[in-house]
Structure 1
Amino acid sequence: MAYASDVTRAPSALGSLLSTLTVDIRARLARRKVFNTTYRELASLSDRELSDLGLNRTMVRRVAYQAAYEM
């Protein structure tokens, strides 16, 4: 008599954790990149150009933070 067995592997908790961790790290890095890019671009503008946008120099960091983290 022949026997057949079907062996499937249950998803491991460690694999799931690493996958979630990888996705989280990539999302954080992407948000940080948006912050850095926005900050650099706004900081490079003159006071006159910032004024045209309705901003002043002290608002640059907050605007960059909002662009990256408060979507």
Structure 2
Amino acid sequence: MNMAYANATQTAAPGLMARMIAAMAARKVYRTTMTELQSLDNRDLADLGISRSMIRAIAYEAAYGK
């Protein structure tokens, strides 16, 4: 006896996939910037003209723009 079956596969829309990849890349830039700036000591940050309270905003701007 032969049995038939159907196999349906649904994938994400190409535009959605591109947006997801772009969002993941931006998040990686944010995390990397945060990590690198947080690893600096206060003197290095002062040399750059950055206070610790500015790190989050700088990382956000680097990843997502203004």
Which bracket does the TM-score occupy, shorter chain normalised?
0.7 to 0.9
User: Among 30, 45, 49, which residue is 1:50 paired with?
Assistant: 45
Name the TM-score, length of structure 1 as normaliser. Answer: 0.74
Over aligned residue pairs, what C-alpha RMSD do you find? 1.7
Structural mapping, 1:10-49, within 5 Å: 18-49=13-44
Unaligned runs of 5+ in 2: 1-9
Structure 2 CA distance for aligned equivalents of residues 67 and 47 of structure 1: 21
* TM superposition outliers: structure 1 runs of 4+ over 3 Å: none
Instruction: Report how many residues are paired.
Output: 57
- Which protein has the larger Cα radius of gyration, Structure 1 or Structure 2? 1
